[in-house]
């Protein structure tokens, strides 16, 4: 069976994102599969996979906000900024004293546009080499700070009386945000070393963890011929983009890669990339607005054909 759409996967611990892609390829017998955002092996949670023709949606889904639930432990730090690394500093037990009110104020101060320095153990490239490759060689290089957006932070749980206090929080952020670096920076703002000790991606765009399937479920559903019902249409996942409907004649032209007029009722305040549909609500593709000419230019056309209506 051929699949075209987005398969929401609950990535297990111990798998890289590429491992998950390889596993699903073997299960469904499909080579054309792409993931929409790397998760480290120890991180679990939402990993949408684009199957078949929907791989053309990858770049748009990657740009969507991500939500995570993270655990932060105060009192020690590691070279990777998370629980997988070597400890580089550890305070004696019971030496971290944090006031809850100050903690809440500090966490709230990170909401907005902030700057982060990518960790050495990351896939960012400098001079053609990935930082984690340099780190494994014992090298540390200067990294430029990058701007990221923190839309929401919510404190979910805290244990400030422990020898090494821990908190659990939810964060909604832009693409490219390093949650482990956020944990370290929260610790620094409070005057203590800190490390991320657990991370779950709970949402990617409109896809929540409750919508995701385990690899075992995917295998069983495919074996029983029921997996197709769990594969989401690509345009549904791209529902954050404004939509517009064109006439049948314009739809025919659009499928031929031609520009079409922007409908008068289109919402031009929500961006320049539109999902375009025909009058029967059939998804045609993604079109970009040329504001100067008031035309929609094809960026990705998905529908293949539509019969031209007979002339009156």
Catalytic residues: 40
- Count CB atoms within 10 A of the CB of residue 104: 13
Burial of 46 (0-12, 13-18, 19+ CB in 10 A): buried
- Is residue 283 classed as helix, strand or coil in its secondary structure? strand
What is the DSSP code (8-state) at residue 120?
S
Four-residue CA torsion sign, 270, 276, 282, 285: negative
CB 284, CB 278: distance < 8 Å? yes
Rounded to 5 degrees, φ, ψ at 171 are -135, 135
Give Dmax over CA atoms of the chain in angstroms. Answer: 85
Query: How would you write 210-260 as a 3-class SS string?
Result: HHCECHHHHHHHHHCCCHHHHCECHHHHCCCCCEEECCHHHHHHHHCCCCE
Is the Cβ–Cβ distance between 263 and 246 less than 8 Å?
yes
For residue 100, give both structure tokens: 């809850």
Packed helices 179-190 and 100-108: angle between N→C axes, nearest 10 degrees: 130
């Amino acid at each position: 069976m051929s699949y075209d759409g987005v398969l929401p996967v609950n990535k297990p611990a111990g798998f890289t994102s590429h491992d998950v892609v390889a596993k699903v390829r073997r299960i469904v017998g499909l080579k054309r599969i792409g993931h929409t955002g790397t998760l480290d092996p120890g991180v679990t949670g939402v990993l949408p996979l684009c199957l078949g023709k929907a791989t053309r949606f990858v770049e748009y889904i990657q740009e969507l906000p991500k939500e995570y639930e993270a655990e932060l432990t105060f009192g020690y730090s590691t070279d990777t900024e998370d629980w997988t690394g070597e400890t580089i500093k550890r305070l004696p037990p019971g030496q971290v004293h944090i006031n809850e009110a100050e903690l809440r104020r500090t966490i709230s101060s990170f909401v907005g546009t902030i700057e982060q320095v990518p960790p050495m153990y990351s896939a960012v490239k400098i001079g053609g080499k990935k930082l984690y490759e340099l780190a494994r060689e014992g090298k540390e290089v200067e990294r430029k700070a990058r701007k990221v957006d923190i839309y929401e932070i919510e404190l979910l749980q805290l244990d400030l009386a422990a020898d090494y206090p821990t908190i659990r929080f939810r964060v909604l952020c832009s693409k490219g945000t390093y949650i482990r670096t956020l944990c370290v920076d929260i610790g620094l703002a409070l005057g203590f070393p800190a490390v991320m000790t657990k991370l779950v991606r709970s949402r990617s765009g409109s896809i929540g963890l409750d919508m995701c399937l385990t690899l075992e479920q995917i295998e069983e559903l495919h074996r029983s011929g029921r997996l197709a019902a769990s594969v989401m249409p690509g345009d549904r996942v791209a529902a954050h983009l404004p939509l517009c409907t064109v006439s049948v004649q314009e739809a025919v032209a659009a499928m031929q890669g031609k520009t079409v007029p922007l409908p008068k009722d289109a919402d031009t305040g929500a961006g320049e990339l539109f999902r375009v549909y025909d009058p029967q609500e059939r998804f045609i593709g993604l079109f970009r607005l040329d504001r100067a000419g008031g035309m929609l230019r094809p960026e990705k056309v998905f529908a293949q054909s539509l019969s031209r209506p007979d002339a009156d």
